[in-house]
């Protein structure tokens, strides 16, 4: 691991020169700009934990390629234990940052591409896995952060890639050369993009023969020529831009993952960084495996966030003198119950993980989809309960400027106090943290990250094996299991 801790990670970013825009202006240093530096700090935590003895077992792994000690975020899962450690690492990071630490996207991309490259080679006689291993050893040894880039803009969603009026709505090859390809298009909602070192480009959906140019997997340095990033707006982001100590709610870390658009305006990719190039047969598997790994994560990191939120609300009820109420305890119980239900699915899909032909382990895909589906429900409910217990002042609290005002500061201090002995400022900080964690961007990300709710439902239906279940029922009833002619026609 060349980059050994958070400070070195931050230093490494300063050597890169990606083209990033935010609110119409270019960002010159992501590690210092108020919009991006909180996200840099969250990602840095993934490096920091690896340098601390107590977390090393979770935060590092041994490379199956080199035998080196590497960051777990660059590891290819070799067994169920790896999958479970990942889950525990993600919950821990969620607890430590209270937000997205971004690095699991590239992690999941690495694992999905690895197993698919193996199978593509088997099917097409290509050598993608060897290329990929070389690149991966580089990532592991340097300890780089990779953004997994899957989601295309999609334009008119009633049409597939090949039928879009604008062919660039999905990333595709626009020129093929002997030494590589030129790609065009964009990837949206790219978590951690602006503070990553490398981009791992993957298709966003299964491709058919009409869409061969869209079946492209490759690695691109974050500051390769032709790449432009636009950093997205977040709820109440101006507070952060103004470095408001209290009102951001999160004085150190960011809200969600610092998502950005990555536009590829005719970017050249040399052959040794190409890991799929037109072989459409495995695109579906690639998307599905990436999605499964990523969906599994949400029951871990979001549980970590909920731990923080439950803690914040519990303490706030103490500050307000309501913590003994039976309905307060019942709601804390419910928040805990929902959080642990989510965590269960993350653990379960890992415990039920199985090896792919490449040897890389894959989570149980049914349970991973179930996990993410519950996130899209329970995170909102946990937020709702938190806001219920916190009280209406989450919506009406004066600003920290008022608290600090000579004219009205005394009124804010007096009338937003709680039980004796706790400074009003503390109550305000709690309110702002809860505000930041329960509304807007934070919840939308939970809903749509790793795939929208309907994407999971389609997979749950497909994997439900209704044929087997119908046989179980028929067996209990003594009904013939064979389909009748009338049904076969259907």
Q: Which of 284, 192, 258, 286 is nearest to 442 (CA)?
A: 258
Q: Can 100 be counted among the known catalytic residues?
A: yes
For a second copy, give the closer residue by CB, 67 or 421.
Answer: 421
Binding flag, residue 332, a second copy (CB under 8 A): yes
Q: Which of 259, 283, 293, 361 is catalytic?
A: 259
197 catalytic, yes or no?
no
Contact pattern for a second copy over residues 195 through 214, marking x by CB under 8 A: --------------------
d(CA 120, CA 100): 32
Active site residue 349: no
Instruction: Verify binding: residue 350, a second copy, rule CB under 8 A.
Output: yes
Footprint of a second copy on 384-403 (CB under 8 A)? 384, 387-388, 391-399, 401-402
Q: Are strands 227-231 and 260-270 parallel, antiparallel or unpaired?
A: antiparallel
Is residue 23 near a second copy by the rule CB under 8 A? yes
Among positions 418-447, residues that touch a second copy (CB under 8 A) are: 418-422, 426, 429-430, 433, 435, 438-441, 443-445, 447
Which CB atom, from 357 or from 477, has the smaller least distance to a second copy?
A: 477
Where b means 16+ CB within 10 Å and e means fewer, 10-37 reads bebbeeeebbbbbeeeebeebbebbbbb
Residue 470 is a binding residue for a second copy (CB under 8 A): yes
Active site residue 104: yes
Q: What is residue 137's three-state secondary structure?
A: helix
Q: Give yes or no for residue 121 binding a second copy (CB under 8 A).
A: no
Query: Residue from 189, 273, 289, 302 that binds a second copy (CB under 8 A)?
Result: 189
Among 199, 220, 312, 362, binds a second copy (CB under 8 A): 312
- For residue 99, give Cα distances in angstroms to 8, 87, 139, 192, 486: 21, 15, 24, 12, 55
Residue 472 sits in the site that holds a second copy (CB under 8 A): yes
Q: How many CB atoms lie within 10 A of CB 54?
A: 8
**Structure tokens given for 205:** 């959906």
The Cα-based distances of 206 to 197, 265, 289, 359, 474 in angstroms read 27, 23, 12, 23, 35
Site membership for a second copy, residue 404 (CB under 8 A): yes
Q: Name the catalytic one among 33, 74, 75, 104.
A: 104
User: In the range 219-238, which residues lie near a second copy by CB under 8 A?
Assistant: 228, 230-238
133 near a second copy (CB under 8 A): no
Among 48-56, 125-133, 164-172, 281-289, the segment contacting a second copy (CB under 8 A)? 164-172
Q: Which of 100, 218, 349, 371 is catalytic?
A: 100
**DSSP, res 225:** T
Q: Does residue 178 interact with a second copy by CB under 8 A?
A: no
CB of 122 to a second copy, least distance (A): 30
300 binds a second copy (CB under 8 A): no
Instruction: Clarify whether 9 is annotated catalytic.
Output: no
Residue 340: enclosing H or E segment and its boundaries?
helix 326-351
284 CB neighbour count, 10 Å cutoff: 15
What Cα–Cα distance (Å) separates residue 178 from each residue in 174, 184, 267?
14, 18, 15
- Active-site annotation holds for 461: no
- 191 flagged as catalytic: yes
Q: How far are the Cα atoms of 244, 403, 405, 406 from residue 411, in angstroms, in the given order?
A: 20, 8, 10, 10
Active site residue 294: yes
Q: Which two tokens stand for residue 75?
A: 């590891």
Q: Active-site positions?
A: 100, 104, 191, 259, 294, 298, 301, 445
């Amino acid at each position: 691991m060349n980059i050994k801790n958070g400070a070195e990670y931050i230093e490494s970013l300063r050597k890169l020169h990606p083209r990033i825009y935010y609110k119409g202006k270019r960002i010159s240093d992501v590690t210092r700009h108020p919009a991006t530096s909180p996200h840099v700090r969250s990602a840095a935590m993934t490096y920091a934990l690896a340098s601390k003895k107590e977390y090393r077992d979770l935060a590092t792994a041994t490379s199956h390629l080199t035998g080196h000690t590497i960051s777990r975020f660059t590891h290819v899962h070799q067994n169920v234990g790896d999958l479970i450690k990942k889950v525990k690492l993600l919950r821990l990071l969620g607890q430590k940052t209270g937000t997205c630490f971004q690095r699991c996207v590239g992690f999941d991309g690495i694992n999905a591409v690895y197993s698919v490259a193996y199978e593509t080679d088997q099917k097409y006689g290509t050598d993608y896995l060897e290329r990929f291993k070389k690149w991966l050893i580089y990532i592991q040894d340097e300890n780089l952060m990779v953004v997994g880039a899957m989601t295309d803009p999609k334009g008119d969603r009633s049409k597939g890639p090949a039928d879009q009026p604008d062919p660039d709505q999905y990333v595709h090859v626009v020129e093929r050369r002997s030494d590589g390809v030129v790609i065009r298009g964009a990837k949206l909602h790219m978590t951690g993009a602006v503070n990553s070192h490398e981009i791992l480009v993957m298709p966003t959906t299964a491709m058919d023969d009409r869409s061969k140019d869209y079946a492209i997997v490759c690695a691109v340095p974050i500051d390769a020529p032709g790449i432009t990033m636009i950093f997205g707006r977040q709820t109440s982001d101006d507070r952060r831009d103004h470095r408001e100590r209290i009102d951001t709610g999160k004085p150190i870390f960011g809200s969600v993952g610092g998502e950005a658009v990555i536009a590829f305006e005719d970017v050249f990719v040399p052959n040794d960084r190409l890991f799929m190039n037109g072989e459409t047969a495995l695109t579906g598997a690639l998307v599905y495996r990436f999605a499964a790994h990523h969906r599994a994560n949400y029951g871990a990191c979001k549980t970590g966030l909920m731990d923080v939120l439950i803690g914040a609300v519990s303490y706030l009820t103490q500050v307000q003198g309501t913590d003994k109420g039976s309905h307060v305890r019942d709601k804390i119980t419910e928040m805990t119950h929902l959080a642990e239900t989510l965590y269960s699915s993350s653990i379960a899909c890992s415990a039920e993980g199985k090896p792919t032909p490449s040897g890389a382990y894959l989570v149980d895909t049914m349970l991973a989809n179930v996990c993410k589906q519950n996130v899209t429900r329970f995170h909102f409910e946990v937020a709702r309960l938190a806001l219920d217990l916190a009280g209406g002042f989450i919506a009406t609290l004066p600003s920290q400027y008022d608290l600090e005002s000579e004219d009205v500061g005394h009124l804010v201090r007096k009338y937003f106090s709680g039980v004796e002995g706790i400074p009003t400022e503390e109550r305000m900080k709690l309110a702002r943290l809860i505000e930041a964690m329960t509304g807007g961007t934070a919840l939308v990300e939970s809903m749509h990250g790793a795939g929208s709710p309907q994407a999971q439902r389609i997979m749950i239906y497909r994997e439900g094996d209704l044929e087997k279940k119908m046989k179980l029922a028929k067996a209990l009833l003594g009904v013939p299991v064979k389909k009748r002619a009338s049904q076969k026609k259907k």
